[in-house]
């Protein structure tokens, strides 16, 4: 109890770490980032909490890149770019999926659209 870090659950550390990251990390990358401050955290806890966060709507999944799931702590809708060369995932600033797209889908398929995910793929600046 003397240790101030222990005042907070690791759950909070995981969420904070994801929110601070710009890299849209995987569970394992998050686990490694957390090692510095919380060397006694377990990978299973990272996975378990990420799963909970997704269910609670606190984070979103960007889908998998090269077979591993990438996550985002930003909740506002935005477009992503994924480099097929180095695996980096980055935000595309100042662009959004037009509302007309989801409206058209809802109308023609008679479905309810709850979220949109637009991922551009290609080669990033560094890899070019």
Partner DNA sequence: TCCTAAATAAGAATCATTCTTATTTATGGC
Partner DNA sequence: GCCATAAATAAGAATGATTCTTATTTAGGA
What does the alpha-carbon distance between residue 76 and residue 69 come to, in Å, rounded to a whole number?
19
Judged by CB under 8 A, does residue 123 bind a copy of itself?
yes
Give the pairing of strands 68-72 and 60-65: antiparallel
Query: What is the CB neighbour count within 10 angstroms for residue 23?
Result: 14
Nearer to DNA, 10 or 80 (CB): 10
What does the alpha-carbon distance between residue 51 and residue 61 come to, in Å, rounded to a whole number?
10
Q: Of residues 55-114, which lie at the interface with DNA (CB under 7 A)?
A: 64, 67-69
Query: Which listed option, DNA, a copy of itself, none, makes contact with residue 42 (CB within 5 to 8 Å by class)?
Result: DNA
Nearer to a copy of itself, 11 or 47 (CB): 47
Query: What is the CB neighbour count within 10 angstroms for residue 18?
Result: 26
Of the residues 44, 84, 86, 99, which one makes contact with a copy of itself according to CB under 8 A: 84
Best CA proximity match to 15, nearest among 46, 61, 39 = 46
Site track 87-106 with a copy of itself (rule: CB under 8 A), x = hit:
---x-xxxx-xx--xx-xxx
Judged by CB under 7 A, does residue 10 bind DNA?
yes
Judged by CB under 8 A, does residue 108 bind a copy of itself?
yes
What does the alpha-carbon distance between residue 87 and residue 19 come to, in Å, rounded to a whole number?
20
Query: Which listed option, DNA, a copy of itself, none, makes contact with residue 78 (CB within 5 to 8 Å by class)?
Result: none
Query: Which listed option, DNA, a copy of itself, none, makes contact with residue 35 (CB within 5 to 8 Å by class)?
Result: none
What does the alpha-carbon distance between residue 22 and residue 29 come to, in Å, rounded to a whole number?
12
């Amino acid at each position: 109890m003397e240790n101030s870090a222990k005042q907070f659950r690791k759950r909070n550390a995981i969420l904070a770490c994801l929110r601070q990251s710009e890299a849209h990390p995987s569970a394992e990358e998050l686990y490694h980032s957390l090692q510095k401050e919380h060397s006694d955290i377990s990978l299973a806890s990272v996975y378990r909490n990420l799963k909970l966060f997704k269910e609670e709507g606190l984070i979103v999944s960007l889908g998998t890149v090269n077979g591993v799931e990438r996550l985002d702590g930003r909740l506002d809708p935005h477009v992503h770019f994924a480099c097929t060369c180095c695996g980096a995932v980055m935000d595309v600033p100042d662009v959004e999926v037009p509302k007309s797209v989801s409206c058209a889908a809802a109308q023609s398929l008679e479905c309810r659209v709850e979220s949109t995910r637009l991922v551009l793929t290609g080669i990033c600046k560094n890899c070019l």
